[in-house]
Amino acid sequence: MRRIEVFDTTLRDGAQGEGISFSLRDKLALTEVLDELGVAFIEAGNPGSNPKDLGFFREVKKLRLRNASLCAFGSTRKKNAAARDDTNLQSILAAETPVAVIFGKSSRLHVKNVLKASLEENLAMIEESVAFLREAGREVIYDAEHFFDGWKEDAAYALQTLRAAAGAGAGRLVLCDTNGGSFPGEIEKGVTAALNSIRSGNGAMTAPVFGIHAHNDMGLAAACSLAALEAGAVHVQGTLTGAGERCGNTCLSALIPSLELKLNARCLPAGNLARITELTRKAAEISNITLAGGLPYIGASAFAHKAGMHADAIIKTSVSFEHIDPSLVGNGRHFLISEMGGRSAIAERLRHLFPGITKDDPVIARLSRRLKELEAEGWQFEGADASFEILARKLAGNHESFFSILTYRVASEYHAGTAALPSPAENAGHAPSLLRYPANAWVKVLAGAECEIAAAEGDGPVNALDQALRRALARFFPLLQEVRLDDYKVRVIDSNSDTAAKVRVLIESTDGRAAWTTVGVSTDVIDASRQALVDSIEYKLFMAARAENERNAD
């Protein structure tokens, strides 16, 4: 089994992604997640760049990392200066990490036009910086920035920069496709050339480990990383979620399973691959980013099946439409409920509600017909599992309605402000500003034989209706206090109908332990929201009742 070193740069390169801003607490939490997964190296940031990273390197010493080595990042020394006097290199040492990562220029264009240094001075900068860190007792990873661009411009000079780093004692040479503009075939040729160059001129020295750092500007980061590994590299850099500057970095949560499950490589400690879905989602939550549903291996849609024939085949033989067992990466199979789904998929989806049910059950036939009718009207259940379960229980004749809304009223009030308006002369030609007032809702509900009336204000009509409904139900169902709306989406179904178009509302609710999604459809967005709100509350009450029954049965 071939060993591949995994180097995660979420805290450094990932932090450069648009919309990502890590607090000190975020960085410490991500460090623990990455170490728990079992990556070999965590690139923690540039201690010389900002106070936050300096604070991080002080605080991270309190963590007990079991698997990963922390790395401080920086550049080679400045031109025409001594390495010992370089503040950036001194900051790397002050971080007191066992590993130092420094980058240097591999491209003549960058040396001349960016550094504005001679080619000889750039080689000296690389060699002296690596030697200085090695003399201070640090393990050194050298990132050959823009290596593949430099190799295409002047292969001899690009390879000379690698020899300078290796000769000074760098234990790892990482070839960077910094612009993300290379094809896998070019990566393979460049890695092969670099390996041959270092090995042929290495003499008695221990040959350094070769690595790859790819960016996803052409959507080829994973393919380029694989090409490098197949050419002889054994160290791969990326970020767990794929986040990074511009189009991102190699997505390690997609690459690692491919290496372990397809190429018989060992990237993580034994058994840890089964946690990669859980920990990647945790990393995304800390990073405040939404993972694409179609992300390979760990995405919510990675093992989702919609077509009826596919679902039927999966139930009979999982390998018919799944390239791996989802449990190997800690993910799960999911059957999407729609008019395209067959009876087998519907039956499989309902087994936890109706144990032993088969696709030939009359309930499945009725539900299949009703799904097709509702989807023709604009309903969609593939993203609203809670509403689907409620519909199934109703058609099976075992649904208990905990309450009903007898009547409700919602109003949104807008008022033209006068106090802050300029004089008529100053306001000539301008419409008065609108001052927005909270919406309010009034609702009358029936729970059992009792009625309750409540009113509430809210930030918008849906929020007001939600607050009024909860207030009315509070004395009957106190547990609803722990439920809140987590997400709210509206989609116009038929835009050709203009303002009379139907809308579909999806509401995601949570009680802090579980999350569920419900749907409503109407030409009235408030009524569509009311439908989804009622389903959300009904689902919570049903789940609580079922849990209570199970406890009593035990």
Task: Give the pLDDT score at 307.
Answer: 53
Task: Give the pLDDT score at 248.
Answer: 95
DSSP string, 493-534: S-GGGGGG--EEEEEEEE-SS-EEEEEEEESSHHHHHHHHHH
* The model's pTM: 0.69
3-state secondary structure string across 384-397: CHHHHHHHHHHHHC
CA-CA distance, 196 to 194, in Å (whole number)? 5
Task: Give the pLDDT score at 255.
Answer: 98
CATH topology (fold) of 404-420+431-553? Double Stranded RNA Binding Domain (3.30.160)
CA-CA distance, 206 to 192, in Å (whole number)? 18
CA-CA distance, 260 to 32, in Å (whole number)? 22
**What tens-digit pLDDT sequence spans the chain (554 residues)?**
899 999 999 999 999 998 898 989 899 999 999 999 999 999 998 987 777 788 899 999 999 999 999 999 999 999 999 999 999 999 999 999 999 999 999 999 999 999 999 999 999 999 999 999 999 999 999 999 999 999 999 999 999 999 999 999 999 999 999 999 999 999 999 999 999 999 876 554 567 999 999 999 999 999 999 999 999 999 999 999 999 999 999 999 999 999 999 999 999 999 999 999 999 988 988 888 888 888 999 987 787 766 555 555 555 565 566 788 888 999 876 665 554 455 666 776 677 677 777 777 888 888 778 877 887 787 877 667 888 888 888 888 877 789 999 999 999 876 655 444 454 555 455 554 444 557 899 999 999 899 999 999 988 898 899 999 999 999 999 999 888 888 888 888 765 555 567 888 989 888 888 888 899 999 899 999 999 999 999 999 988 988 888 888 77
- The amino acid at residue 134 is R
What are the φ/ψ torsions at residue 140 (nearest 5 degrees)? Answer: -120, 125
Task: Give the pLDDT score at 204.
Answer: 43
Assigned token pair, 114: 């960016």
Assigned token pair, 548: 């209570």
| DSSP at 275 | G
Location of each CATH 3.30.160.270 domain in the chain: 404-420+431-553
Helix axes 184-200, 221-231, angle to 10 degrees: 30
Residues 452-474: b if buried by 16+ CB within 10 A, e if exposed: bebebebeebbbbbbbbbbbbbe
Task: Give the pLDDT score at 495.
Answer: 52
Q: Which CATH class is domain 2-287?
A: alpha beta
Location of each CATH 3.20.20.70 domain in the chain: 2-287
